Amino acid sequence: MTSLQSFPPSPIIQSSFSYTEPALTPSPVLTPRLVLGSSSIYRKELLTRLRLPFDVIVPNIDETAFTGEAPEATALRLAQEKAVAVALIAPGALIIASDQVATLDGAQIGKPGNHRNALLQLQKMRGRRVVFHSALCLLDARSPLAAPTVQLENIQTFVTFRDLPDAELDAYLRLEQPYDCAGSAKNEGLGIAILEKIESTDPTALTGLPLIALTGMLRRAGVGFFHT
């Protein structure tokens, strides 16, 4: 935001005509360009809640976890790599990127990709508590004279799945087909019916974009939300 420069008052001029000091016009609010680095329609829908204009660029990175890499480290690394990849395409912008890794007993649970794998995932997770790591990155590349600054945060969400029979799990999968979701369930849709409990400090983290964390990052970057 451009600050309003203060000027000393104009001197009083003794003359035969009256002098009226011109009114100062406030500087306009400058809204930075926001770019969401994601191919996820769910993250795009979440970001629209903030009522800020933004563009979407799909990052092209290898999302394979490193051997022996901790789940939280994987999520944080991939979120930052997505942001960096987008910044190369959209210089001078604020880049938002995120990544999510689900774990059961410390082992990563990926996107199932098909019905068979999704059913196997749900069978393993029923009656169990699964940890979702939702990593968020805000990369500020607005200054052409300084290196980009990065804010990173990981939000953990603990999800307990209902202990349901195979027939119900299979029926759910055929109805919603959540094959692009880690954990094989869309909590923002019918998948909520196969969940028993969700515990998190950020209610949108499980869907893929933790908005409480994001609004905090954007505020620290100078972005406001309630301009009138």
pTM: 0.81
pLDDT of residue 206: 96
Q: Which CATH architecture has domain 34-220?
A: Alpha-Beta Complex (3.90)
pLDDT at 228: 62
Stated as kind and residue range, the H or E segment containing 35 is strand 34-37
Query: Is residue 180 annotated as part of the catalytic site, yes or no?
Result: no
- Predicted local confidence at residue 144, as pLDDT: 76
Contacts of residue 134, defined as CB under 8 A and 6 or more positions apart, other chains included, come to 75, 98, 99, 100, 154, 155, 156, 157, 202, 205, 206, 208, 209, 210
CA 33 distance to own-chain centroid:
16
Helix, strand, coil percent values for the chain (each to nearest 5): 30, 25, 50
User: Of residues 99, 105, 140, 163, which has the active-site annotation?
Assistant: 99
| Domain boundary assignment for the chain | 34-220
pLDDT of the residue at 105: 92
Whether the Cβ atoms of residue 94 and residue 139 lie closer than 8 Å to each other: yes
CB 228 within 8 A of CB 217: no
Do residues 4 and 26 touch, judged by C-beta distance below 8 A? yes
**Residue-level pLDDT at 31:** 56
Nearest to 161 by CA among 222, 104, 93: 104
Single out the residue of 208, 205, 102, 220 nearest to residue 150, CA to CA.
220
Residues of the chain with pLDDT under 70: 1-31, 228
